[in-house]
Structure 1
Amino acid sequence: MESSPLLKHIDDEEEGNGDDQEALKEHPPLKEFKEGGWPLFVRESKKIWRVAGPITLNGFFSYALNSSIQIFAGHLSAVELSAVSTAFLVTTNFPTVVLIGLGSALDTLCGQAFGAGQVERLAVYMQLSLIILFLSALLMSPVYIFATPILRLLGQDKEIAVLAGKFSVRILPQLFAMAMTFPVQKYLQAQSKVSLLTCITFGGLLLHVGLLGMFVYVFDWGLNGAAAAYNLSSWAVSIAQLVYIIVWHNFAWTKFSLSSTLNEVWSFLKLSLASAMMFCMDGWNMMVMMVITGLLNNPAIAVGSLSICMNINIWINMLFFGINAASCVRVSNELGSGNAKAAKYSIFVIGLTSLAIAFPCLVTILVTRDYFPVLFASSEELQRAVADMAHLLMASVVLSSIQPIIIGASVGGGWQGIVAYINFLCYYILGIPLQFIMGFLLHWNAKGTWGGMLCGLLLQKLIVSAIVWKTNWKDEAIKASKRMQLWVEQKDTIDSQI
């Protein structure tokens, strides 16, 4: 039996020809699925999970780095645990969101460059990202250095603020390790070469736990030892990744002219800032909700129940973390290679995959809603409050399952600026007022603040999903091709001048 034109296109793409692309450009995703059938869906899924699987594990291991410090600190004293947790909230979450946002410009540019066959362009983009992220880390250093007065200004307990400030200063080197880690990860991620990244991060986690045990318990260095272990393990991961791309991927620092560098920096910086705003609008939304919840009556129960639900939500979101990354890679690769409908079909498969992941999570929450709170709290009042918010946790999981579609389309296509404005409108103009109305005026307490935030999330998902649905993907592929063609013309001009 002869294979369908769509299946032939996938075969050609994997073999490197890609000559027969018209078949994939003439059908909407549902018809593509009907024509290509299960084999086409499986092949696209394999491409997605080739990236998503290792990146998901990498996310779990990276999150465990921070969690392990809090576990060790919790065995020192309650005050030191609070200090470490507070330090991470101020000195790690805030800069990490900014660096992830700035670095996500590489998802767009490196992914499209790799799809267009301009592999040497990836090195240029990675170098520019390293420069921008290192400068950004330097500019954000005062947040670490002045953590104590910042925390005191926010009303934090003096003893906790002082300890958190000292710990923050000591983990400042880790900020610059992150600035190196993100560009290298994006460089490899755009090429779907992420398996060894997971091994390196896992090795860093083992090293981190070993150093924590030695510094905290054997040498009795307390939080100073925890900070030293965090810095050493973070830099070990960053250096190992850099050595990996230099030795095994023949990475070389690319030379380019001053005029082309300035043009590239300006274009790259605009996309990086747009990406940072998109991610910051999203990441800070959760922090604002926690602050508002802390103003409610009986804040211990309100914040405690919300924190438990958010903790579960974060772990579930880790399942979508790899899908988000794979979505960026697949969409940007296909747009860069000019395969508009292939990018659209990839989003279709990613959407189905996300919903398939969300379904068992929803069932688990529904079945265990009266039992899982016991794992996190001994207070019966707090347990009842958490169980009473299970339906909101389920709604949050459903909205999270839509996120890979939005991230893949916006980052893969380079729409970060548009989505940043939409995030600001939905989260801060609509969501925050609704949190006050539902939490305070309607007296729904923590359910009200979370419900208000979810309303903003829902509107954001609806607007961006409508944009994705209406997008002319052929035009997006043309834009990506023009961007890559401009690089070729600049390179030819520079080569002729040498």
Structure 2
Amino acid sequence: MDNGLEERLVEEEEEEEDQAGDPRLRRRIWNEFKMLWRITFPSIVARMTSFGIIVATQSFLGHVNEIDLATFALLQSIFLRFVNGILLGMSSATETLCGQAYGAKQYHMMGIYLQRSWIVDLVTATIFVPIFIFATPILKLLGQEESIAEASGRMSLWFIPFLYYFVFSLTIQMYLQAQLKNMIVGWLSTASFLLDVLLAWIFVYKFGWGVNGAMAAMNIGAWLMVIGEFVYIFGGWCTNSWKGFTKAAFADIVPVMKLSISSGVMLCLELWYNSILVLLAGNMKNATVSVSAFSICLNVSAFQFMFCLGFLSAACVRVSNELGKGNANAAKFSIIVNLTTSTLLGIIFFIICLLFGREISYIFSTNKEIAESVSGLSVLLAFSMLLNSIQLVLSGVAIGAGFQSVVAYVNLGCYYLIGIPTGIVLGYVVGFGIKGLWVGMLGGIAMQTIVLSYIVWRTDWDDQVNKASQRLNKWFLTSSKESNQ
């Protein structure tokens, strides 16, 4: 479906909604619900298959030797997650700008915003390349085992092309989903995952290339997805939003950089929150059981987190599109439908955790002591899932509206000034152990949810429409100026 036809269909749906009014509220809800899942489902597929490439590579390395498996796990959990959190956050600026430009029908500006994001993210990724080049001395400095630190020096270089894969895959996904074209991302990410598994099997088992084979398969599978996205964009499927490379992409870089940095800080503070609590759990008595139980619960929560990130994307796209169109009421309506749908799914996950709290641990471990510990955390896990389903949608609303810097301060205060200190006091001083850490984590998330709910409730959406219009008009370049390359 071309961009023009897609746009007309969306406009026809909106006209039907406006003509229907309140008597046809159910039809409005159904139209918004369809739009919601049109964005959410491909986003979930893309995120889960992208994560699946990393899991598949780790699985194949586990059949090479234990040192390489431990080395990959360490590099992935410390270095790659650290940089990925920054790039994911910074790429959300593309989501804000492209979403609002699409709503305002400034289609040609979307390609310019995408190129500006590439410039900012490429510079950022390059800054972090030395971390992977000097992985061995860094890990030795952190006190890791000599064998793992030495092995990391060879393996870490394979992560550098994967680092640049993040730059393009994250920004392109947000560029495409802002114009409701992200189904292609779901197909390409699924194909890249299947190709990665096939290549890893051939390289590791048939050719006997070991670590190099598994890492090469990971990079080939990931980059073929990016190449497919390039073909889709450059091949004429985004004719309205992509007008070719332009010098205009280098204009107004500083404002884009500021928005990207605030976006990066906002999401990084959230993604690193759980990792810090896992490190704290490792310093407790009977740390093996504590960390294992805590990690199992976080893995289950991370699975649900993938679904909620899809709703975050949908909230961002719908809010940014409607603000760009100047339709404050439609933006508020989309928030209500998205938040209601996500919360209902959160309640389902909540009930599943309460009913199968003990059985969950046996998916990961047969140890009865760990199972008891996980069972004792099941109620807290259930509340975490419920809160995730709410607060991630609110974060998506914030990204769509463009006030990431405000949420960055909220995350800093709620997570690091309330959540972690409370967890340390309850876990170490009071003696509640990992339950105390989890209660502290929940306290931070609950406080963040309350604050974000208040911010969204008190937001003047008509004023946000004006701010979006001012931002778009300030950075707007006419097609003639854009074509002056």
Rounded to whole Å, the distance in 2 between the matches of 1:135 and 1:441 is 44
CA distance in 1, matches of 2:17, 2:283: 61
Instruction: Flag the 1:361–1:171 CA change in 2: closer, same or farther, 3 A.
Output: same
| Partners of 2:56 and 2:197 within 8 A in 1 | yes
Aligned counterparts of 1:20 and 1:215: Cα–Cα separation in 2: 54
2:284 partner SS: coil
Equivalent position amino acid for 2:138 in 1: I
The residue type paired with residue 195 of structure 1 is: M
Question: What is the letter of the counterpart of residue 238 of structure 1?
Answer: V
Is the counterpart of residue 481 in structure 1 residue 469 in structure 2?
yes
Q: Which residue of 1 aligns with 2:387?
A: 399
1:168 to 144, 153, 156: 156
What SS class does the counterpart of residue 75 from structure 1 fall into? coil
Distance 1:409 1:184, change over 3 A: same
Kept in 2: contact 1:347–1:408 (CA 8 A):
no
Q: Does 1:237 align with 2:197?
A: no
- Comparing 304-313 and 476-485, the one that deviates more: 476-485
Q: Please report how far the alpha carbon of residue 493 of structure 1 lies from its aligned counterpart in structure 2 after TM superposition.
A: 9.3
Q: d(CA) in 2 for partners of 1:496 and 1:370? A: 62
- State the alpha-carbon separation in 2 of the partners of residues 53 and 358 from structure 1: 16
Residue by residue, what CA displacement relative to the aligned partner does 1:280-325 show, whole Å, maximum 9, x if unpaired? 1111111111111111111101111001111111111112121111
**Which residue in the other structure is 1:27 paired with?**
none
What is the match of residue 187 of structure 2? 199
Matches within 5 A, 1:324-403: 324-403=312-391
**What is the alpha-carbon distance in structure 2 between the residues aligned to residue 59 and residue 496 of structure 1?**
35
Say whether residues 1:255 and 2:252 are aligned partners: no
- 2:453 is matched with 465
Q: Secondary structure at the match of 1:342?
A: helix
* Residue pairs, 1:252-331, within 5 angstroms: 252-256=243-247, 261-262=250-251, 264-331=252-319
* Worse overlay, 169-178 or 325-334: 169-178
Structure 2: which amino acid aligns with 1:382? I
Candidates 491, 494, 497, aligned match of 2:478: 491
**In 2, distance between residues paired with 1:404 and 1:215?**
39
- Given that 1:173 and 1:231 are in contact with CA atoms closer than 8 Å, whether structure 2 keeps it comes out as yes
Say whether 1:58 aligns with 2:46.
Answer: yes
Partner letter of residue 244 of structure 1?
Y
In the TM superposition, what is the alpha-carbon distance from 1:145 to its structure 2 partner?
1.3
1:29 corresponds in structure 2 to: none
| SS of structure 2 residue aligned to 1:444 | coil
- The answer on whether the counterparts of 1:324 and 1:407 sit within 8 Å (CA) in structure 2 is yes
Cα gap change, 1:496/1:53 in structure 2, threshold over 3 Å: closer, same or farther?
Answer: closer
Q: Secondary structure at the match of 1:134?
A: helix
Can you list the C-alpha shifts for 1:413-439, whole angstroms capped at 9, x where unaligned? Answer: 001000001111111111221121011
Residues 107, 329 of structure 1: 8 Å contact kept = yes
Greater shift in the superposed pair: 177-186 or 34-43:
34-43
After superposition, residues 100-249 of structure 1 pair within 5 angstroms as 100-247=88-235, 248-249=237-238
Provide closer, same or farther for how the CA distance between residues 157 and 338 of structure 1 changes in structure 2, counting only shifts above 3 A.
same
Partner of 1:95: 83
SS of aligned partner of 1:135: helix
**1:111 touches 1:329 (CA, 8 Å); kept in 2?**
yes
1:103 corresponds to which letter in structure 2?
S
Q: Distance in 2 between matches of 1:17 and 1:74?
A: 52
Identify the residue that residue 4 of structure 2 maps to in structure 1: none
Identify which range, 179-188 or 411-420, moves more after superposition. 179-188
Contact 1:340 1:474 in 2 (8 A): yes
Counterpart secondary structure, 1:447: helix
Closer, same or farther: CA 113–16 of 1 in aligned 2, 3 Å: farther
Segments of 5+ residues of structure 2 without an aligned counterpart are 1-6
Question: Aligned pair in 2 of structure 1 residues 402, 496: CA closer, same or farther (>3 Å)?
Answer: closer
8 Å CA contact 1:53, 1:322 repeated in 2: yes
> Does the CA contact (< 8 Å) of 1:55 and 1:198 recur in 2?
yes
The TM-score with structure 2 as length reference comes to 0.93
Q: Distance in 1 between matches of 2:478 and 2:56?
A: 47
Q: Which residue of 1 aligns with 2:3?
A: none
CA displacement at 1:11 relative to structure 2: 10
Deviation at 1:403, TM superposition (A): 2.4
Amino acid at match of 2:399: V
Contact 1:98 1:276 in 2 (8 A): yes
RMSD (CA atoms):
2.3
One-letter identity of the residue aligned with 1:124: I
Kept in 1, the 8 Å contact 2:398–2:404? The answer is yes
CA contact (8 A) 1:12 1:19 kept: no
Q: Given the superposition, is the C-alpha separation of residues 14 and 200 from structure 1 closer, same or farther in structure 2, using an over 3 Å criterion?
A: same
CA distance in structure 2 between the partners assigned to 1:326 and 1:384 by the alignment: 37
Structure 1: distance between partners of 2:262 and 2:46: 25
Q: Distance in 2 between matches of 1:440 and 1:484?
A: 50
Match of 2:143, SS state, is: coil
Residue 241 of structure 1 aligns with an amino acid whose one-letter code is: E
CA distance in 2, matches of 1:101, 1:288: 18
CA apart distance, 1:492 = 8.0
Q: What's 2:58 paired with?
A: 70
Instruction: Tell me by how many angstroms 1:162 deviates.
Output: 2.2
- Are the equivalent residues in 2 in contact too, given 1:12–1:18 (CA < 8 A)? no
**Alpha-carbon distance between aligned partners in 2 of 1:170 and 1:35, rounded to the nearest angstrom:** 59
Which 10-residue stretch deviates more, 327-336 or 181-190?
181-190
Q: 2:318, 2:334 within 8 Å by CA — same for their partners in 1?
A: yes
Contact 1:109/1:125 (<8 A) preserved = yes
1:171, CA displacement in angstroms? Answer: 2.1
